[in-house]
């Protein structure tokens, strides 16, 4: 007996992986959070990666047993993934883990109002920092109050005991977790509420008259930066710029590594969750800064950092005065998010203009250069200097040093599509951010992969040759038995699972 053609075709189809159920995904999320919280946490905080037996810990270097990391994907990133898990599952153990991460951050907040890259709970290290609280959360009374106005003219001394940074999303990420946990608790935890209030106040107080921020500060300011020292002026080209690193640490407005964009994002989050109009106005001033800092023709995009005259300037010895592809894309996403949040379309035209320009300077393969020479559009790179020391500016990528990302994926198509949706008044789902492994929202295939790779204890150990190694206490490279467990993997997997649950199990939300 011959089978019908349609039935034969059905037999020929490959077997499909069955779709995950909300119950399976919920179980995976809760198991992951409980495992990481019980095994990896130190005072509620986290570092970058661990050996599977948790005998080794690593961040940027080898942290002590009572040191936690704040720079993402450290404590704030892990805590926010745990809070995502709570919002998706309503499991109280996930909320408890996120609250402990928030307490960890409140207890490593500096008197200057922000955070350094890492935080400490051992007595000698805590004595070397001017923390606002004791290790148990008790606020430390200060008899001396700040008398210094904000601005880079005042932080040149760089007090290491009280050094806060906006670099690499450090203080911003910590603030966002505190704000989110405070909201989840309905303002019921006085320690978390006060720490988040002070962090937001500091972000607003350190904002310059033009709406930008510099990267660091070492005291909670008594007043904002003064307009006479930081005039509001549009972006402009210097008559000439040095081809060698000038070693000038005067200070600058900083867009590098998404600093400005994450500050705007933090203020918008506080406005959405608290209805605080001061935060909304701060975010809008941040947007106005980006309008002001957009360079005039022939290169209507953005630099990496600007001096007080709003001219692109050097930072580190491989970060020259230039137009910057990555930072320009970050600036455009920040403007689009601000426009979507406020309904103000004035932020759209500068994005369209920058996209049109950047399309003319794309590299082969739909790539964008990190640096374009001012006025010429020539891509800039750096090679190691003689003997492997220092860096030398070059127009060739043939021997470009490996310490930096000189070329990035173009996001111009996604930027243009998103801007068009906003202009038409349509709802927008912003695409995933840099370095995220999974799509947003995650696909069924994404979820299937995450569940398949999860170990029975709830972790995602890595054993491959590229990532399955660490350094021991002596700095020696080793491959731990059982593999390496990454905070980044935990964050991305838990966020993806939680996002899927919010779509497929709305009754939890």
CA distance 54 to 39: 7
pLDDT single digits (tens) 86-138: 999 999 999 999 999 999 999 999 999 999 999 999 999 999 999 999 999 99
**Mind giving me the DSSP string for 84-122?**
HHHHHH--HHHHHHHHHHHHHHHTT-BTTSS--SEEE-S
Q: Is 457 left (phi over 0), alpha (psi -120 to 50) or beta?
A: alpha
Question: What's the pLDDT at 2?
Answer: 46
Rg (the chain; Cα; Å): 24
What average pLDDT does this structure show over 230-256? 94
CA distance 393 to 156: 27
Q: What are phi and psi of 374, to 5 degrees?
A: -60, 130
What average pLDDT does this structure show over 483-500? 97
Smallest Cα–Cα separation from 135: which of 117, 121, 125? Answer: 121
Question: What's the pLDDT at 56?
Answer: 97
Q: Over the chain, what is the mean pLDDT?
A: 93
CA distance 255 to 252: 10
Question: What's the pLDDT at 144?
Answer: 65
Q: Where are the alpha helices (DSSP H) in 206-276?
A: 259-274
What average pLDDT does this structure show over 242-258? 92
Strand ranges (E), 187-319: 216-217, 253-254, 305-306
Question: What's the pLDDT at 105?
Answer: 98
Write down how long the chain is.
509
pLDDT tops 80 at residue 16: no
Question: What's the pLDDT at 148?
Answer: 85
pLDDT tops 60 at residue 10: no
Which among 179-183, 218-222, 429-433 has the top mean pLDDT? 179-183
Question: What's the pLDDT at 435?
Answer: 78
pLDDT single digits (tens) 143-194: 766 778 999 988 655 678 999 999 999 999 999 999 999 999 999 999 999 9
Smallest Cα–Cα separation from 132: which of 102, 105, 172? Answer: 105
Question: What's the pLDDT at 159?
Answer: 72
CA distance 152 to 170: 18
Among 15-29, 249-263, 279-293, name the one with the lowest average pLDDT.
15-29
pTM equals 0.94
Question: What's the pLDDT at 249?
Answer: 78
Say what percent of the chain tops pLDDT 90. Answer: 86
Q: Break the chain into its structural domains and give their ranges.
A: 24-105+124-142+443-509
């Amino acid at each position: 007996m011959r089978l019908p053609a349609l039935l034969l075709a059905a037999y020929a189809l490959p077997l499909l992986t069955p779709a995950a159920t909300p119950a399976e995904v919920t179980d995976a999320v809760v198991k992951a959070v409980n495992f990481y919280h019980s095994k990896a946490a130190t005072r509620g905080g986290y570092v970058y990666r661990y050996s599977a037996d948790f005998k080794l810990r690593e961040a940027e270097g080898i942290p002590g047993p009572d040191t936690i990391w704040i720079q993402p994907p450290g404590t704030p990133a892990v805590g926010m993934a745990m809070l995502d898990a709570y919002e998706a599952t309503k499991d109280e153990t996930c909320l408890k883990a996120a609250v402990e991460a928030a307490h960890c951050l409140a207890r490593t907040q500096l008197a200057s109002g922000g955070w350094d890259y890492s935080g400490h709970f051992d007595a000698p290290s805590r004595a070397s920092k001017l923390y606002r609280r004791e290790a148990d959360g008790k606020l430390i009374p200060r008899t001396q109050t700040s008398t210094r106005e904000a601005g880079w003219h005042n932080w040149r001394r760089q007090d290491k005991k009280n050094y806060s940074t906006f670099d690499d999303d450090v203080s911003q990420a910590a603030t966002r977790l505190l704000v989110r946990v405070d909201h989840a608790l309905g303002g019921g935890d006085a320690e978390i509420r006060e720490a988040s209030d002070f962090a937001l106040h500091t972000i607003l107080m350190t904002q310059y008259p033009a709406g930008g921020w510099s990267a660091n500060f070492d005291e909670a300011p008594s007043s904002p930066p003064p307009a006479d020292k930081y005039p509001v002026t549009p972006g402009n080209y210097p008559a000439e710029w040095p081809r060698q690193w000038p070693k000038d640490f005067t200070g600058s407005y900083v867009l590098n590594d998404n600093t400005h964009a994450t500050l705007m994002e933090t203020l918008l989050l506080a406005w959405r969750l608290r209805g605080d109009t001061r935060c909304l106005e701060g975010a809008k001033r941040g947007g106005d800064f980006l309008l002001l800092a957009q360079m005039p023709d022939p290169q209507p995009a953005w630099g990496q950092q600007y001096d007080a005259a709003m001219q692109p300037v050097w930072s580190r010895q491989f970060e020259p005065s230039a137009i910057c592809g990555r930072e320009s894309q970050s600036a455009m996403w920040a403007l689009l998010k601000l426009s979507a949040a406020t309904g103000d379309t004035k932020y759209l035209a500068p994005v369209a203009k920058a996209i049109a320009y950047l399309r003319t300077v794309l590299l082969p393969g739909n790539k964008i250069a990190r640096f374009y020479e001012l006025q010429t559009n020539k891509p800039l790179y750096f090679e190691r200097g003689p003997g492997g020391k220092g860096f030398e500016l070059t127009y060739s990528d043939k021997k470009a040093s490996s310490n930096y990302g000189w070329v990035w994926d173009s996001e111009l198509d996604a930027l243009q599509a998103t801007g068009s949706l906003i202009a038409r008044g349509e709802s927008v789902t912003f695409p995933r951010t840099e370095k995220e492994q999974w799509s947003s929202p995650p696909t069924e295939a994404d979820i299937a992969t995450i569940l398949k790779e999860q170990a029975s204890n709830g972790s995602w150990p890595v054993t491959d040759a590229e990532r399955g190694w660490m350094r021991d206490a002596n700095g020696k490279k080793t491959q731990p038995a059982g593999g390496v467990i990454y905070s980044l993997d935990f964050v991305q997997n838990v966020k993806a699972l939680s996002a899927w649950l919010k779509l497929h199990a709305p009754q939890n939300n």
